[in-house]
């Protein structure tokens, strides 16, 4: 990877973050209808995920181009976790006013986005020793690499991601048990968020275990399947909501769930890539970054139809805007998987 390309791949997450921040702010401030109270904050804080992905991108790229230094090693993970914490706190501040249904929904979803950001920050943290992956992949040895994380550290990182995922699932159950439409909307979206957090467990585990050189052959099936199952759950869940509540005020949530499922499929590209190039040659590795490109395009095409539908039915205002933001996340993941493809493949 040359310096110019490295700048481009680092710029993509930042540009997508700025897009989410400005677009989310524009949605919230440019008008006074209630739908903007949900769509604006959600799209805005999707930018937090992009910032955490930026930290991941820079962490890996600097190791590839040999400009990694102690400051970056500590600052970038701290940046990711700080943004995650700020997002979570803002979500609580938004939904504490439970008398306004829109803020109730937006606040809970923003808290969920904070959980995703925390998982991505964990991926950025374990990526601080990413340079060990191509080294281990090239070596025929199966001995633990002493330069990698210890087993205790590995368990801590995996536990952090698992904790965020478990919290999201528990939050989903509590919200859905509420019964009201605001609880249903927030709970369903939180369920899609939980699918993403669960998918990120696979990414964190794949990276840290390959760095330790303890990645087993059976994991080549376990982790990709986990992510694909999560994406399928979110997508099927969304379709069920659309058809079961067709024509009702709740059906729009199904489209958001489909968008969250597409994000899971984008994450799968990173996990699949790590599987395919681990101690093996995979000529089609350069094609894997097309997966998040396709999911980003699907998000934009789906959003275009929802924008038209929103002209006649206001309830589609929210999914149309949110899915555009999810498309930005997918495109950011294209940058990350491209970096992985460049940095993790074996040297010729």
Q: Which tens digits make up the pLDDT trace of 64-93?
A: 988 999 999 999 999 999 999 999 999 999
Residues 58, 188: Cα–Cα separation, whole Å: 33
Distances (CA, A) of 288 to 60, 194, 206, 267: 18, 24, 17, 11
The confidence score (pLDDT) of residue 31 equals: 75
Q: Is the pLDDT of residue 98 over 70?
A: no
A 10 A CB-CB count for 294 gives 15
pLDDT in tens, 153-205: 999 999 999 999 999 999 999 999 998 989 999 999 999 999 999 999 999 99
Q: Is the dihedral of CA 187, 236, 333, 316 positive or negative?
A: negative
Residues 115, 125: Cα–Cα separation, whole Å: 15
38-53 in b/e form (b: 16+ CB < 10 A) is bbbbbbbbbbbbbbbb
Residues 61, 74: Cα–Cα separation, whole Å: 15
Q: Which of 114, 131, 120 is nearest to 52 (CA)?
A: 120
54-58 average pLDDT score: 95
The confidence score (pLDDT) of residue 279 equals: 81
247-261 average pLDDT score: 93
Residues 138, 271: Cα–Cα separation, whole Å: 18
- List the structure tokens of 256: 């958001």
Distances (CA, A) of 77 to 35, 60, 154, 293: 34, 12, 16, 26
Residues 262, 228: Cα–Cα separation, whole Å: 10
Q: What is the mean pLDDT of the chain?
A: 92
Residues 264, 174: Cα–Cα separation, whole Å: 23
Q: pLDDT confidence of 346, banded at 50, 70, 90?
A: low
Rounded percentage of the chain residues whose pLDDT exceeds 90: 74
Q: pLDDT confidence of 24, banded at 50, 70, 90?
A: very high
8-25 average pLDDT score: 95
The confidence score (pLDDT) of residue 272 equals: 93
257-272 average pLDDT score: 96
Residues 228, 231: Cα–Cα separation, whole Å: 5
Q: What is the pTM of this model?
A: 0.94
233-247 average pLDDT score: 94
CA 277 to chain CA centroid, Å, is 22
The confidence score (pLDDT) of residue 348 equals: 42
């Amino acid at each position: 990877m040359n310096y110019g390309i490295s700048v481009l791949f680092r710029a993509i997450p930042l540009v997508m973050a700025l897009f989410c921040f400005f677009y989310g702010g524009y949605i919230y401030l440019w008008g006074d209808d209630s739908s903007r109270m949900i769509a604006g904050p959600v799209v805005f804080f999707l930018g937090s995920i992009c910032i955490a992905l930026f930290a991941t991108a820079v962490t890996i790229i600097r190791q590839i181009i040999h400009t990694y230094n102690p400051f970056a090693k500590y600052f970038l993970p701290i940046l990711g976790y700080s943004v995650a914490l700020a997002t979570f706190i803002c979500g609580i501040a938004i939904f504490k006013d439970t008398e306004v249904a829109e803020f109730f929904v937006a606040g809970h979803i923003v808290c969920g986005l904070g959980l995703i950001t925390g998982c991505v920050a964990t991926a950025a943290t374990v990526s601080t020793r990413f340079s060990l992956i191509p080294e281990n992949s090239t070596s025929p040895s199966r001995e633990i690499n002493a330069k990698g994380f210890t087993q205790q550290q590995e368990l801590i990182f995996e536990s952090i991601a698992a904790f965020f995922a478990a919290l999201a699932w528990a939050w989903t159950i509590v919200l859905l048990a509420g019964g009201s439409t605001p609880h249903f909307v927030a709970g369903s979206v939180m369920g899609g968020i939980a699918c993403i957090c669960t998918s990120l467990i696979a990414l964190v585990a794949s990276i840290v275990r390959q760095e330790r050189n303890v990645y087993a052959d059976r994991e080549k099936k376990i982790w990709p399947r986990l992510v694909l199952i999560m994406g399928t759950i979110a997508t099927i869940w969304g379709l069920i909501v659309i058809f079961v509540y067709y024509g009702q005020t709740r059906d729009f949530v199904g489209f958001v769930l489909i968008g969250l499922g597409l994000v899971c499929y984008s994450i799968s590209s990173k996990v699949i890539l790590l599987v395919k190039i681990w101690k093996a040659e995979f000529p089609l590795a350069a094609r894997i970054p097309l997966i998040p490109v396709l999911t980003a395009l699907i998000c934009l095409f789906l959003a275009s139809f929802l924008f038209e539908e929103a002209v006649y039915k206001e309830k589609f205002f929210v999914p149309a805007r949110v899915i555009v933001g999810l498309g930005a996340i997918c495109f950011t993941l294209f940058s990350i998987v491209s970096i992985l493809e460049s940095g993790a493949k074996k040297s010729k």
